[in-house]
């Protein structure tokens, strides 16, 4: 097992739940691995392929082991892991701390060490651990620590991704479980209102830190309302809204787990998900937290400020209103006074253009639900 942190920066990958729901299979996972490699998603940093709920048989076998559904995974889970690994990816799998998973399959309650050993034997690299159907008398804090201990002693490095939904003051104890990521929000839906609600809740309670990242849930960018999951697939979003969605998740440092069908994703979505400037902000080694800066122009618009390694700053301008907005940021609200003799050199991460050097303030006009993200360097004048 390695000595370095399992996830020094927020993890990236793909998850089956949003689009495919219970319609998962060996063929789908292998085709997704092929497509992600061919489209450059692996080289962009998306290394985990996560099989969500509904992969197992409805009951454990006679030895109490979880077994993959042979109709969905005829060659077994070890075969899938080997295929994914051969492509350069890592395999993620789903389990739950309760007696049943959210979809009614066997949970890991009182089977934590047995299941962790099984996952390690199969070659699993990532465990999404959900919070359904657990005994009401046992706090999820205890159950997460149980699985955390089991994973740390299973003989294989397995990233522990707790899906806890933000209940029971999870931010206060999650790091003590050994988790590398934790869900602190409700499930996402393929709609602007859902994106907005999750983003605003996360901005008000920032909690990400190196080694344990606040997960804002799976990306819906590129779904366009076509998913099979009735809980997730709403009416879809516009391309502008998907752009803002991805920019928010990247700037705030959430794990980036693609949720659309990568085999058929449009070129504009592929370009968005592989935007090098946005991903460099997301993967910045300092993993700094954002703060919200005041802007002038619209009460439903704001700027997120994120310090980056080497002295640069990421500035994300976001317009959550239903009408276009002119946003003005005064640099003294960032700590950069007019008498400092310094300004900011702006690089537009979405257009790959360089607007130039600005002093005292910067203004931008954004469409409804639109955004602008800039990497800024402090320069002498």
CA distance 39 to 23: 23
CA distance 153 to 135: 24
**Which residue of the set 22, 34, 82, 187 is catalytic?**
187
* Structure-token pair, residue 110: 């009182």
DSSP state of 189: -
Quote the pLDDT of residue 296: 79
CB atoms within 10 A of CB 98: 20
CA distance 48 to 42: 9
Name the 3-class secondary structure at 241: helix
Sequential pLDDT tens for the chain (381 residues): 556 789 999 999 999 999 999 999 999 999 999 999 999 999 999 999 999 999 999 999 999 999 999 999 999 999 999 999 999 999 999 999 999 999 999 999 999 999 999 999 999 999 999 999 999 999 999 999 999 999 999 999 999 999 999 889 999 999 999 999 999 899 999 999 999 999 999 887 777 678 899 999 999 999 999 999 998 888 999 999 999 999 999 999 999 999 999 999 999 999 999 999 999 999 999 999 999 998 876 889 999 999 999 999 999 999 999 999 999 999 999 999 989 999 999 999 999 999 999 999 999 999 999 999 999 999 999
* Structure-token pair, residue 328: 């003005």
CA distance 95 to 35: 26
- Can 215 be counted among the known catalytic residues? no
Rg over alpha carbons for the chain, rounded to the nearest Å, is 21
DSSP state of 123: T
- Can 130 be counted among the known catalytic residues? yes
Question: 291 near 304, Cβ under 8 Å?
Answer: yes
Question: 184 near 199, Cβ under 8 Å?
Answer: no
CA distance 254 to 265: 22
Burial track 3-16 (b if 16+ CB lie within 10 A, e otherwise): eeebbebbbbbbbb
Quote the pLDDT of residue 3: 65
Provide the strand spans (E) within the chain: 12-15, 48-51, 90-96, 126-130, 159-163, 181-183, 213-215, 256-258, 291-293, 301-307, 313-319, 325-330, 342-348, 353-358, 361-366, 371-380
**Which residue of the set 53, 69, 115, 130 is catalytic?**
130
User: In terms of DSSP bridges, do strands 371-380 and 342-348 run parallel, antiparallel, or are they unpaired?
Assistant: antiparallel
Question: 33 near 89, Cβ under 8 Å?
Answer: yes
Q: Could you tell me which of 349, 354, 247, 355 has the C-alpha nearest to residue 304?
A: 247
Quote the pLDDT of residue 360: 95
Q: Give me the helix-helix angle, 77-86 and 112-122, nearest 10°.
A: 50
pTM of the model: 0.96
């Amino acid at each position: 097992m390695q000595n370095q942190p399992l996830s020094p920066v927020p993890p990236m990958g793909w998850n089956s739940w949003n689009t495919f729901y219970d319609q998962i299979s060996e063929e789908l996972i292998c085709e997704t691995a092929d497509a992600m490699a061919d489209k450059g998603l692996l080289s962009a940093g998306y290394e985990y392929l996560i099989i969500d709920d509904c992969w197992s048989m409805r009951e454990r076998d006679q030895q109490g082991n979880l077994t993959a559904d042979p109709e969905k995974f005829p060659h077994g889970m070890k075969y899938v892991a080997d295929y994914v690994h051969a492509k350069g990816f890592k395999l993620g799998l789903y389990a739950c701390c309760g007696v049943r998973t959210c979809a009614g399959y066997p949970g890991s309650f009182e089977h934590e060490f047995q299941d962790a050993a099984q996952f390690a034997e199969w070659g699993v690299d990532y465990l999404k651990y959900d919070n359904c159907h657990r005994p009401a008398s046992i706090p999820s804090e205890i159950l997460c620590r149980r699985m955390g201990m089991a994973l740390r002693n299973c003989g294989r490095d397995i990233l522990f991704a707790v899906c806890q939904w933000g209940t029971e003051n999870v931010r206060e104890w999650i790091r003590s479980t050994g988790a590398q990521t934790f869900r602190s929000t409700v499930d996402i839906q393929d709609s602007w209102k859902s994106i907005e609600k999750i983003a605003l809740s996360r901005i008000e309670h920032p909690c990400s830190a190196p080694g344990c990242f606040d997960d804002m849930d799976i990306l819906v960018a590129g779904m366009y309302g076509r998913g099979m999951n009735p809980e997730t697939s709403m009416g879809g979003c516009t391309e502008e809204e998907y752009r803002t969605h991805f920019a928010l998740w990247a700037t705030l440092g959430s794990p980036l787990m693609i949720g659309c069908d990568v085999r058929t994703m449009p070129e504009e979505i592929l370009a968005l998900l592989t935007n090098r400037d946005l991903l460099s902000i997301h993967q910045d080694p300092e993993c700094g937290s954002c703060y919200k800066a005041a802007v002038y122009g619209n009460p439903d618009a704001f700027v997120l400020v994120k310090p980056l390694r080497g002295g640069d700053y990421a500035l994300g301008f976001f317009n959550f209103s239903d009408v276009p907005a002119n946003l003005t940021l005064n640099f003294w609200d960032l700590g950069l006074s007019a008498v400092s003799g310094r300004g900011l050199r702006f690089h537009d991460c979405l257009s790959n253009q360089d607007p130039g050097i600005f002093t005292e303030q910067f203004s931008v006009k954004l469409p409804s639900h639109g955004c602008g993200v800039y990497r800024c360097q402090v320069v002498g004048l």
